A = this chain, B = another copy of it.
Amino acid sequence: MDIADATWVKGTSTYDISRSVGVVETRVSKLSLPSEGFKTESGEFLPEVEVCYETYGTLALDGRNAILITTPLTANAHVAGFHGSFENRGSKGWWDDMVGPGKTVDTNRWFVVCASMLGGCSGTTGPISLNPSTGVAWGYDFPDVTIGDMVEVQRLLLDQLGVVSLFAVIGGSMGGMQALEWSLRHPCRVERCVCVAAAPSLSAQALAFDILGRNAILNDKEWAQGKYLPGVGPAEGLSLARKIAHITYLSAEGMAGKFGRRQRENDDPERFHTAFEVEKYLDHQGTKFVQRFDANAYLFITQAMDGFDLAGSYGQTDELDYLTMADLADESSRSSAKQALAKIRLQEAFARSQCQFLVVALSSDWLFPASESWRVAEVLVQLGKSVSFCELSSPHGHDGFLLEVDQLDRVLSAFLSTPEGTLSPSQRREPPSPSGIETSQDKAIIASMIRPGSRVLDIGCGEGALLDHLVHTRGCTGEGLDIDLSAVIGTLARGLSVLQGDAVQALSRLPDGAWDHVVLNQTLQAVERPPEVLREILRVGREAIVSFPNFAVWKCRLEILLSGRMPKTRDLPFEWYETPNLHPFTLKDFRTYCGENGIEILEIHELSDSWLGKLLVGLGFRNLGADRAIVRIARKKYAS
């Protein structure tokens, strides 16, 4: 999460000035407040609040084309362009790759705003600001602030700027927390919320690291109960706090590659310091940070992050009431009741949201692991709200949210684009389905099985063609599910919601009964445990539509009989050793399985592409004639 580093890694050697917002200035605005001042969530008052912010692009007359970028822990308002002059490369904005004319956050189209956070030390009011009632810096006496307070300050700034509603609020890390807070605090003013590498609250492990970072500062005698003079302060403690945090921003894999056990050459470290490169690097990070950050500010803003808990702030169910209802015979049932309560409250919190969400996680992030980000997507799915979820593959740990510019760019660009999106036709091709076929006939049959206006989950959705069809011709809503990033981006670019994940693993994390229909097109024979997948799709959906190739079609039977080799047909076109069809089965096998496992076949279509097959099906020899089948199924009423 070191902004300067991230910029440096990307380099500026081929910098395209035509796509830059150019030379920019950070501005300061004093908020118009009621006479008592700004009331924090902790109930204290700030008599005045100044906000440091930058804007790029032009606000539309209706005040509705704004994008707010919320900042991570230690970043400031300077998102894009340069301070002073182009030559001043060191001053490039921390997300310049994403923001500019023609870039993903296109300043020709949107009015982009970013403000430094309340309680920090980057210009917006914080502990280093003067306390007007004493004439000296607030320091220790600054009131406790929350993520909610930070968002309130941003809201007041936007009011002053004439921004009526936000086309999108976008934030990574602690900025992602602010983006989520926006979506709940001002649901009517946010159209899209992009939350990257964040979570609805910190995990116990992440809390622990923050706690030790603050310990390091408070331990430092120079901290002097927060009453140190400007320019001095607990440099060693702040440096150590930063170093602790810095490890959590990298991945073990990344550190092994970057440092390993490499030693600095010609170096004679002091006693109990090592010659390992990694120590030098951490020292450098600590020292750099002390030069640009204030220790009290670090205490206030990390505390705000630790306290952030959407379930706690916006959930309504009372803990005591709930726990009284639950059976609390022992510690373990008490603990699982508390977990269930946390989920209920998170759902209550997001019930108020009205925007489209994009939640992005990074595969090697262990500070905000994908499972923590997923909690947001899960409750939104459960609530039937619009949400897309991506897990970007990255070796960079949490820092990936600044380093995986290309992937993030593609995802964000698809999400922000209108449905008649920006992907070229060549990018829009469908990936081959496991069986190699997916005819428009099949799609028409599947569509005919789905009630207009129902909610659909399309597993293995590719670039969303079927879902698009259902949404536009039958008024359906719903989500796609695919593991492939290009498929996810293609689906996003159609203006559809999509969850990135492996069919089987993702299914297990989806809530009960969230969909009317689950479509599993040409996939059942390709999963490792078909019974588990059948169980899961009939758990998350009231009905499922399953299509599969029939291994007992006459062509297969003849081929294995006569050639003694594993059959290959149009519907089963792969060699035995590379077929994704791990569990081929026959129409009869499927009927038997359903019969024995409490699954009702509501509707079935046996399809053939040959005249002989059609004839056989027509004569009633369905298992011999059908190349494939499309079946609508549900749990039998008495079963389950």
Contacts and interface: CB of A to CB of B under 8 A. Distances in A.
A583 interface: yes
Contacts of A303: 272, 274
A461 B261 CA distance: 37
A556 interface: yes
Contacts of A339: 260
Contact of A593 (B240, B335, B577, B623): B577
A583 B212 CA distance: 52
Contacts of A252: 203-205, 366, 369
B207 A261 contact: yes
Contacts of A579: 583
Interface in A613-640: 623-624
Contacts of A207: 261, 274, 276, 278-279
Contacts of A272: 214, 217-218, 299, 303
A261 B586 contact: no
A568 to B, nearest CB: 11
A512 interface: no
Contacts of A529: 577-578
A625 to B, nearest CB: 11
Interface string A290-314: 0000000001000100110100000
A205 B247 CA distance: 7
Interface stretch (A29-37, A537-545, A558-566): A558-566
B582 A565 contact: no
Contact of A578 (B262, B531, B556): B531
Nearest to A211: B279
Contacts of A244: 212, 244
Given A207-B278, A272-B299, A579-B583, A201 B565 contact: no
Given A552-B565, A577-B583, A215 B201 contact: no
A83 interface: no
A236 interface: yes
A111 interface: no
A244 B220 CA distance: 16
Nearest to A235: B219
Of A140, A214, A272, A369, which is in contact with the most chain B CB atoms at under 10 Å from its CB?
A272
A552 B557 CA distance: 11
Of A369, A563, A582, A592, which is in contact with the most chain B CB atoms at under 10 Å from its CB?
A582
A584 interface: yes
A589 interface: yes
Contacts of A218: 272-273
Given A204-B278, A552-B564, A588-B565, A240 B260 contact: no
A259 interface: yes
B338 A260 contact: yes
9 contacts: A212-B247, A215-B243, A219-B240, A257-B335, A530-B576, A531-B577, A564-B588, A564-B623, A577-B585
Given A207-B278, A565-B588, A582-B583, 15 more contacts: A140-B271, A203-B252, A203-B255, A207-B261, A208-B247, A209-B247, A216-B240, A217-B272, A260-B342, A528-B528, A529-B577, A575-B593, A576-B583, A576-B586, A576-B589
